[in-house]
Structure 1
């Protein structure tokens, strides 16, 4: 149990800007194992973002409340996944072979492709969240609870997709030390393993809160996003990088909100 607590706090340290106890020290083996807690981190980020949004909605217009919630989400994670999206788009937008793509992705500066991708991703997310907040109450779920469930599911499910890519594909640069993700897939992370089952349980939990089986249909579009992006990355660089995982999380989160909006209009 003590080891698992250390691993969880390592995940908190790596994937967020939330302060951890000083007794928690970084260990490479813990950072590798902490991947299984990524969906739990998503629940935490989604829950905090929802709390800020619900609180803001009591005194502010929807658009301002959503903006504040998004800013808080970025502060909590340090824009970790957004940075991955920008670097990935820069790399594949400006590179023409594996070496050039990886070199651009390694560069800490952001280019035009990355800036455009970030602007469009944040704008889409903003518009979708505003639309979801404005949805009329459905299936007896009050608006505030609905917002909470959506953000919990959006953040946790999209992170488990990133975890699944680590099972299905190879790390594109295992030994060069150039990626933000310094670790590779742990040996304990397989399709049928306690680590992945735990991650999947954290990710699927929010869907049961909606009290309708139709919400599980949303798994299909976001899984297809993961499959298509992973196949694209594998074609060009022979696998994935930490930045690629960030891109998958961000794009699938947008697709999740879009699919939720469409689904909720017809159930």
Structure 2
């Protein structure tokens, strides 16, 4: 890749996104590629597709060997967490702890940066993962694995939207290092997510997608009100809650 590459899309963006959002083994990338982090957000949904596909494979195999849908769903979620290194779950827990554990912007950001987890964060993880497992269990029982794929993919298209809309709340961190993505990259990612979701689920994807947009907007608005912007933790929370919103909406449609 040319050092001053300014193209909207690069074949390397997918590999770069996998480095940012997963723990999958990716060949060492040239340092200059990381200058494209903001532009590469269009590929976030593709990273979600890969994560979702691996998790669905685990869930499907578990069903085939005779495990119950609930146990298979638990293994499916465990696979997602393993592939991503629990990045989004960590962000969700830190977000809950920080936004509701402090009385000032600085204190909330300090709590979010703390590696320890508080009561709010623990409870948030317990309830969110219970909902995730139960919803996926319903989808597995209904042979609707495609819904898990859509949830994994579409929820990751929400993160660049929040990155674009909200300023960075602090001067350091992963979100700050990536920077604000260009509108074109955000729209390409949304286009990919929208097209895949509609082709996969048809009109059944409409309500789940709207639920994802709505929950992402709530998280973004809360972050804006309480810490004046977004951080990597906020983005993780956006992914988590929007994915759960899609899964619950799909489960309710069965």
State the TM-score, normalized to the length of structure 2: 0.90
Q: Deviations over 1:194-219 (max 9, x none)?
A: x2232113212332344532421222
Number of paired residues? 246
* Alignment map for 1:2-81 (pairs within 5 Å): 4-25=10-31, 27-59=33-65, 60-81=67-88
Is the contact between residue 156 and residue 202 of structure 1 (CA under 8 Å) also seen in structure 2? no
Instruction: Give the stretch that moved more between structures: 2-11 or 217-226.
Output: 2-11
Is the contact between residue 17 and residue 76 of structure 1 (CA under 8 Å) also seen in structure 2? yes
Which of the numbers 213, 226, 230 marks the counterpart of 2:216? 226
Structure 1 unaligned blocks of 5 or more: 136-142
Is the contact between residue 136 and residue 148 of structure 2 (CA under 8 Å) also seen in structure 1? no
**Structure 1 residue runs of 4 or more that deviate by more than 6 Å after TM superposition:** none
Partner of 1:139: none
Rounded to whole Å, the distance in 2 between the matches of 1:211 and 1:114 is: 33
State the TM-score, normalized to the length of structure 1: 0.86
Partner of 1:202: 192
Is the contact between residue 224 and residue 230 of structure 2 (CA under 8 Å) also seen in structure 1? yes
Structure 2 unaligned blocks of 5 or more: none
Is the contact between residue 16 and residue 40 of structure 2 (CA under 8 Å) also seen in structure 1? yes
Partner of 1:261: 251
Judged with a 3 Å threshold, the aligned counterparts in structure 2 of structure 1 residues 80 and 64 are, in CA distance, closer, same or farther, namely same
**Structure number having the greater helix percentage:** 2
Which of the numbers 104, 118, 121 marks the counterpart of 1:114? 121
Judged with a 3 Å threshold, the aligned counterparts in structure 2 of structure 1 residues 241 and 54 are, in CA distance, closer, same or farther, namely same
